[in-house]
């Protein structure tokens, strides 16, 4: 697959290529986190509260340490 390339503008803005936006279902107004990764940066969409509902469903709570048990 050919890499998608964008250019940093004089206002320090980058337009995300259409192929990347469509493949990831990103939309205007969506928030993103920029995480340093070596000499580059990892761009991740910030999860919306509704996307997190049920995330821990079925998680086992047995054997989980409480903060008071930590040394």
Q: Are strands 40-45 and 32-37 parallel, antiparallel or unpaired?
A: antiparallel
CATH code assigned to 1-53:
2.10.260
Terminal-residue alpha carbon distance, the chain: 50
Domain boundaries, the chain: 1-53
* pLDDT at residue 34 in the model: 96
Using left for φ > 0, alpha for ψ between -120 and 50, and beta otherwise, residue 25 falls in left
pLDDT in tens, 56-68: 888 887 777 777 7
* pLDDT at residue 63 in the model: 77
> In the chain, which residues have pLDDT < 50?
none
């Amino acid at each position: 697959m050919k890499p998608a390339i964008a250019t940093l503008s004089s206002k320090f803005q980058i337009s995300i290529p259409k192929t990347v936006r469509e493949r990831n279902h990103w939309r205007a107004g969506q928030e993103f986190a920029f995480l340093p990764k070596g000499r580059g940066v990892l761009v991740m969409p910030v999860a919306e509260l509704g996307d997190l509902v049920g995330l821990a469903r079925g998680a086992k709570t047995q054997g989980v340490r409480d903060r008071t048990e930590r040394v």
